[in-house]
Structure 1
């Protein structure tokens, strides 16, 4: 009888178990890396920019609904049934649609993250921002009071995803569409003179904009 043979069985089983655990661990790491690399660019940007989500992503803890200007996911500048789009200034909306039509030829789609808002919705977003940043002064860098907001008047739109905002940054002037604030690359307003003269210099943030002063 060979007494050495059974003694080798246990080490082989242990090695097999170790290899199995390592294989499972490596597979989990690979899956996690693939998921991270394919994650939505807009969601990555949203989590890295420290601003109220309701002001640029159309989503927040506010109680106001679509009728007050909240925007469901995936709304484009052509969605007439959504008040946030339909109640934009007609000239602004027309320029957006012309730009969006041309951008689509290059595979770029404009998504409206926020457009027209009711005064009620604007005040809710402002309260959220004050709670988040600790003061009205700090919140004012991101959310205007209702009677000063260009969203309430229908004269401003927040465009996503990042590729669409980048397209507008490069091509928007020829449609009269300009980024107004340095800290909000998604916020666009109509400046018809930009078609001939280019967009004006950007304000660092809304607190530097004379229109926002009380």
Structure 2
């Protein structure tokens, strides 16, 4: 027994060391796997916005796409209808912009700010959005339900604005008083100026842009 006890103790220590090494290897493998999973996400951060998958293409073009940035109409997050430094706002039709700013003054009394997701766009930016929509939806016909061509888009002419959720909800109730009307049933964020709406209310919406005669020019 005098010699057996040290032997058993030594054997126990060896087993403990083996278990610790095995545990360390498992931990290293888990860390390596986690890093491997994160790598594609970080390396693909310059791709299209993940929010585009949650809503139709063009719904939130605040993200700068490729080399096309603010000068082409991309609108950063947090922009309001009073931000003249942003071309996407400043290049809107003056009558539309004036109506939006009058509405913004009253909306503020209700605790709502008229945030702009998209406004004026350059033809190049509109074409980029259209091509992304075709890729996303699989056909030009389906993409046309969400994104117009540069030749027909009211955004390119400065006659349309896409608003944030709270702003669009407020205008859905009060917009007619300013001549601001939702144009398409499938785009609750898309507003255009209809001056006659002040006296007669907003006209019925088109189901989507493909039903709008202006899109067939």
TM more than 0.5? yes
Between the aligned partners of 2:104 and 2:156, the Cα distance in structure 1 is: 23
- Aligned Cα RMSD in Å? 1.4
- Partner residue, 1:22: none
Secondary structure at the counterpart of residue 171 of structure 1: helix
For residues 128-179 of structure 1, give each alpha carbon's deviation from its aligned partner in whole angstroms, at most 9, with x where no partner exists.
000001111010011000010000000000010x221110000000000000
Give ranges in structure 2 of 5+ residues lacking alignment: 1-50
Kindly indicate whether the alpha-carbon contact (under 8 Å) linking 1:155 and 1:189 is maintained by their aligned counterparts in 2: yes
Residue 51 (1) aligns with residue 59 (2): no
Counterparts in 2 of 1:117-136, with a 5 A limit?
117-136=121-140
Q: Return closer, same or farther for 1:170/1:48 CA change in 2, 3 Å cut-off.
A: farther
Q: TM-score, normalization: structure 2? A: 0.74
Counterparts in 2 of 1:177-192, with a 5 A limit?
177-192=180-195
Kindly indicate whether the alpha-carbon contact (under 8 Å) linking 1:56 and 1:186 is maintained by their aligned counterparts in 2: no
Q: Return closer, same or farther for 1:209/1:49 CA change in 2, 3 Å cut-off.
A: farther
**1:47 Cα deviation (Å)?**
6.9
Give runs of ≥4 in structure 1 deviating > 3 Å: 46-50, 54-57
